[in-house]
Structure 1
Amino acid sequence: MTEIEAIERDEAARISEILQGAVDPHVHSGPSIAPRIIDHLDLARSYSDAGFAAVVTKDHDYSGVMCARLIRDHHPELTVRVFSGIALNNVVGGFNPYAVEHTAAMDGRIVWLPTLAAENHLAWEKTSGWVHPASTQKIRPAAGIPVFDDGKLRPEVLDVLDVVAASGMALASGHLHVSETRIVFAEARRRGVERLIFTHPEDIVGGTYDDTRALADMGAYVEHSLGFFIEGSRFRTRTNAELQAYIDCVGPERTILCSDLGQMGTLSPLMGMRRGVATCLALGYSDAQIHAMVASNAAAVIGLAD
């Protein structure tokens, strides 16, 4: 074995150790109306073999809690705990408190505010060139779901916030513009929501470092999608230096690193997490700091220790 091979072997082992007990709270596995490279069960097998503690599957068009329950009930050999949540897009009726209550009753862990149906997302689409991979073949294009009416949060938004507060689930910002997120999160806090996730400030939502700090000061964890940063991802739009700047503006103790992967034509979620850890090591973060960002913080926000 050459010296380079030995170094690579040792780093691979170090990455594996850091990922023991990891939690990926944002993965796009299938079945899905959009093509996926891995389904929920194979994802669970992959993460179980790698020593992960938990994973939260996310689909833009349905609540995955039933799939998660089937995997937990029928595959006791898997050591990873599989959870899901609900994204408040058109298919589930937008801000639908009944759907959120149902998700909570089936042990859902995260409620994502509108993503592909967020008015901000639809505005971003016009300049990004991104199109839902199933929208022209299988489903009609998304219709925007407003958050405000005459400058005030709509009653159904408040209803959903109350359900999230009562259930203890985490509220994630989805693809709302950061200016909307700051208002919704402030109201969520007033209504008793304890777990908040600010979703990928680096892309779509327009989050600056100042916005990121403000939301972290509000008690939110800041979740970064490694697919936007890591080498080899077809979604890479950001640099390592930008990742470091986002982490440092709130600290590793308020940062979550998720894969946000599962799409066709790019890295697998597990490879994304491994490359994310390697990137953080190269940036100089300690093993303990990285473990917090890929494990402990996400475990706390989804209530894994409760």
Structure 2
Amino acid sequence: MAQPSTLPTVVPCPSFTPDRAADIAELLVGAVDLHCHSGPAAMPRILNHHEALMDAAAAKFAAVLYKDHFYPGMAHAQILEGLFPDTGVKLFSGVALNNAVGGLNPYAVDHAIKLGAKIVWMPTFAAANHINAYSAKTFPKTAQKMLDPTALSVLDGNKKLTDDTLQILDLIAEGDIILAGGHLHVSELFVLFEEARRRGVGRLMVNHPSYVIGCSDEDIRGLVALGATMEHSICMFVESRAKQHDMDDLAHLIEVAGVDRTILGSDLGLTQAPRPVDGYRMIVDQMLDHQISRADIRKITSTNAAKLLGIAVN
């Protein structure tokens, strides 16, 4: 769906009736965002980590996980949680295996886990699949020109997982944290996740299967059969420059994977988009209009993601 080219820097949350606002607020108590793109970051952001925490606290979220494509955010999360211990929001982060941390680097993963990482994302902007998909496009851009990425894949020339990838899987299994597919192509994900399961990785997640990854409905069902959870990006379903789907698309994707294997992450913080918590408000409003049950909305916005993190929510 084509979007206006002149969206405001921050897309405001629409007004709701008092009853609808109360319903949304109640449903978001205990929400968990595993994909918060607050700053500081090399890419322009509309809010920082502290502001994201305060927004989440005001909405009574249970947890926020900061994601940056270029640096691990555990230190920020731990410092902020210590500075603001009464918010009720647990803060987490992880490491994305792009060039800035050495790519598919077991040392970066080992360090991240020792520092409290809850997730390892396979390459995103440096994934060969992402680079190929954006060869003729300009998004996403960093605020200042960075070195061109070196294309990364978990597979070698023989379509086998590299030794570094295998070691990373062992570290993730030992740490009992989330393995996220990043921007790898779906063909890579099947090889990766099958081996991950063999090596004892128990928490598997596919990031935005409808964007860049190349998942068909059959692929989603196959990945779910391997134990993976599908994470859909709210930014792609609400008013923003990243919007490419409508609520019918989301309802279909939920049906394909099943409610118990579906979560929503904001993937927000980018410009020309809502703030992350507002994105949740907007998508919950749409789900209520679409007659998705309150119990299912709670699973998709809260309890399923909490299970992946290994935390309890009310």
TM bucket by the smaller chain? over 0.9
Displacement, 1:7? Answer: 7.6
Partner of 2:257 in structure 1?
250
Query: How far does the alpha carbon of each residue in 1:184-213 deviate from its partner, in whole angstroms, 9 at most, with x for none?
Result: 011000000000001101111111111111
Match of 2:155 in 1: 148
1:124 and 2:111 matched: no
Which runs of structure 2 are paired with 1:214-233 in the superposition (5 Å)? 214-230=222-238, 232-233=239-240
Match of 1:70 among 56, 79, 101: 79
Quote the offset at 1:9 in angstroms: 1.0
User: What is the percentage of aligned positions where both structures have the same residue?
Assistant: 42
Q: Which residue identity lines up with residue 174 of structure 1 in the other structure?
A: G
CA distance in 1, matches of 2:219, 2:182: 15
Q: 2:53 is matched with which residue?
A: 44
- Aligned-CA RMSD value: 1.5
The residue identity in structure 2 corresponding to 1:87 is A
Pair 1:267-2:274 in alignment? yes
Match of 2:300 in 1: 293
The reply to whether residue 185 of structure 1 matches residue 193 of structure 2 is yes
Partner Cα distance (1:146, 1:285) in 2: 38
For 2:312 and 2:105, locate their aligned partners in 1 and report how far apart those are by CA, in whole Å: 28
Q: CA deviation at 1:96?
A: 1.1
- Alpha-carbon deviation of 1:120? 0.3
- Helix, strand or coil: the match of 1:122? helix
The letter of the residue matching 2:215 is: G
In structure 1, distance between residues paired with 2:198 and 2:135? 34
Give the match for residue 96 of structure 1: 105
- Counterpart for residue 176 of structure 2: 168
Aligned to 1:115: 124
| 1:25 counterpart = 2:34 | yes
1: CA distance, partners of 2:169 / 2:34:
20
**Which amino acid in 1 is paired with 2:75?**
M
1:238 and 2:245 correspond: yes
Question: In the TM superposition, what whole-angstrom CA distance separates every residue of 1:9-61 from its partner, at most 9, and x where no partner exists?
Answer: 10111011000000000011101011111111110111011000001000000
| TM-score, length basis structure 1 | 0.94
2:67, 2:93 within 8 Å by CA — same for their partners in 1? yes
Aligned partners of 1:200, 1:131: CA distance in 2, in Å? 16
Distance 2:274 2:149 in 1: 27
Residues 153 and 184, structure 2, Cα contact 8 Å, conserved in 1: no
Distance, in Å, in 2 between the alignment partners of 1:7 and 1:22 is 19
- Measured in 2, the distance between the counterparts of 1:178 and 1:146 equals 12
Partners of 2:86 and 2:163 in 1: how far apart? 44
Unaligned stretches of 5+ residues in structure 1: 1-5
* 1: CA distance, partners of 2:16 / 2:281: 16
Question: Aligned to 1:201, which of 204, 209, 216?
Answer: 209
Instruction: Give the CA deviation at 1:142.
Output: 1.3
List structure 1 segments (4+ residues) > 3 angstroms apart after TM superposition.
none
Determine helix, strand or coil for the equivalent of 1:111.
Answer: strand
Q: Corresponding residue for 1:283?
A: 290
- State the shift of 1:305 in Å: 3.4
> TM-score normalized by structure 2?
0.92
Letter in structure 1 aligned against 2:236: F
Cα deviation digits, residues 79-134 of structure 1 (max 9, x gap): 1111001100000001111111111112111100000000000011024x243322
Compare relative contact order (CA 8 Å, sep 6+) and give the higher one, 1 or 2: 2
Structure-1 separation of matches of 2:216 and 2:36: 24
